[in-house]
Structure 1
Amino acid sequence: MLTGKQKRYLRKEAHHLNPIFQIGKSGVNENMVVQISEALEKRELIKVSILQNSMEDKNEAASMISQKTNAHIVQVIGNIIVLYRESRENKEINLP
């Protein structure tokens, strides 16, 4: 579980990032979860965008992705989800 200080730090680090995944009309599927998990292993911190035509609730989608990838939800703001998972091999972010 992330502390408030760690979440603030990760929000600051994620500010300049662009979303690398988009959740559309079909919602969250297993293939997307696998790709998000691989991206988290490489980058540790990613953004996921929820498109206007998506039927998924943003908070439900965030919790589903978080559970299936063992990631932490840093922030859900607007239609953007920020996720963090510490990498086993490519550790770059040192949390305070």
Structure 2
Amino acid sequence: MAALSIHERKRLRQIGHALNPVVMIGDKGLTESVVEELNRALNDHELIKIKIAGEDREARSALILEVAEASQSEVVQTIGKIALLYKKATKQNQKLSNLVRHAHLSN
């Protein structure tokens, strides 16, 4: 995946500010069902927030990178236990895509 430009990253962060986490990763870590849910959410919404349990900062950072690799998405931003992920949909759903639904926030 091509790296996002500074302008694109800023726009995605603005949109992501209004979002709530849609995938929570608990103590069991990155399971097959979590990867399936991540892929479904990214295909539908393109831009999602995920929340990762755990107190160890290094372990959370490693898990976020693992999640991005498993879902073939780009990490836009991480703040504490929350990560903002972006993956361009092959066919954008106008009703579900957060990029379309919250486009007015990035102006």
Q: Per the shorter chain, which TM-score range?
A: 0.7 to 0.9
Aligned residue in 2 for 1:31: 33
User: How far does the alpha carbon of each residue in 1:19-51 deviate from its partner, in whole angstroms, 9 at most, with x for none?
Assistant: 011111111112101110111000000000112
Do the aligned partners of 1:47 and 1:80 also contact (CA within 8 Å) in 2?
A: yes
**Identical aligned pairs, as a percentage?**
29
The one-letter code sitting in structure 2 at the alignment partner of 1:86 is K
Q: CA RMSD in A?
A: 2.2
Aligned residue in 2 for 1:61: 63
Pair member with larger Rg: 2
How many residue pairs get aligned? The number is 95
- Say if 1:50 and 1:88 are closer, same or farther in 2 by CA, change over 3 A: same
TM norm structure 2: 0.78
User: Match for 1:18 among 3, 17, 20?
Assistant: 20
Following superposition of structure 1 onto structure 2, how do residues 30-49 of structure 1 map, counting pairs within 5 Å? 30-49=32-51
Structure 1 alignment gaps of length 5 or more: none
Do the aligned partners of 1:44 and 1:87 also contact (CA within 8 Å) in 2?
A: yes
User: How far does the alpha carbon of each residue in 1:36-93 deviate from its partner, in whole angstroms, 9 at most, with x for none?
Assistant: 0111000000000112478982211111111111100001111101000001112553
TM norm structure 1: 0.86
Do the aligned partners of 1:58 and 1:76 also contact (CA within 8 Å) in 2?
A: no
User: Match for 1:77 among 65, 76, 79?
Assistant: 79
